[in-house]
Structure 1
């Protein structure tokens, strides 16, 4: 349910705060960075787990387990799947890069927080973690490798210094990134869903609907574009 809540919250924030994000992007990056630093410090010291039960059971999982950042990535990826010229793409495209940067910062905090155990164990004591978590950790490392260049080149100043063709080619890696996010989540959640845990069963269903619907929409948009190009060439 954390993911569903995160998507709802993200949609509300983007709908009402989109213009603020566009106008005050640096402030949003600073705020996100400070939040991420607090999460990392709190995770390493254990302080965040000693806070009120309401916070640790409701707010913290959304942030520390990356549900909120993933929900932001969902908005970013769906923007590219919406119909060109439509109201949604016109509203979201001007803040797509900003949302991506915010999501990347939060994702780095998530990986640093959980990496202190899973990444370290993967290389020093792999037998101490379940097979699915080892696979999830490997996928997570690949995700970081793909995400860093996407993150850096999302800043306008960096984008302007690159050739448009090179930038677009690099940004195509985002499709692989989105697919690996889904794989990473499924590796963690499916084994727990198979135990009969209703929370994880619901999560698997929600993640699958969101990501598979995006895949269908994106392929459909590509096919329409391809057909349109062929038609123009014939004419």
Structure 2
């Protein structure tokens, strides 16, 4: 199965599929990394039949695909991620206010730089701010999160916008290297309260720029996509989500039996 993935979700999809392939070694996955808007267009045109992005198909998009293929695509929410704002360690910037972010993007003053102008992170920010970037209006964006990380370490007056999943697995040596060069900025909300992008704040919807992670599959019957979707939503799959430093969508009760008899 070929899965189209927004690069911000790369770590999570690879962690989930690595374990799935260990359980079912006859299954093979191929990933195509493209920005979210391009993936959505490919889903609508039936070029893509499986995707890992940060928004579900709308009812209108789902109906259109069904009319063209007689297959009804399914959008499954598996996790909650977040858009985070980063600066270089040497930067004097310590936080980002929602009003300042909104005004800056509308004024196009180039202080904020996205990982991609068509990414799920860009869509999340503009949707939450309720702003529309007019056609022809420029937004500073690079090709991926790694370029954004390198850029903010060299340009101390700028703030990078990437996905939390890029740095959420704190035990990963590559993540440790990234965190040695950047700092994650809290968001100052309308009440002037600083909100950190922590799993707890995402769970309680206190951090404003949270986003869902959806697996979308369009296939007849119960195929690889359906099997993977069921696994990713199972207790084992959701434990992997938690291990990646994200908030699982499905919370499973943990039952503990205590034996009070003396040994």
Q: What range is the shorter-chain TM-score in?
A: under 0.3
Structure with a larger share of its residues in strand: 2
Give the number of the structure with larger relative contact order, counting CA–CA contacts within 8 Å between residues 6 or more apart. 2
TM-score, normalising length from structure 2?
A: 0.25
Structure with a larger share of its residues in helix: 1
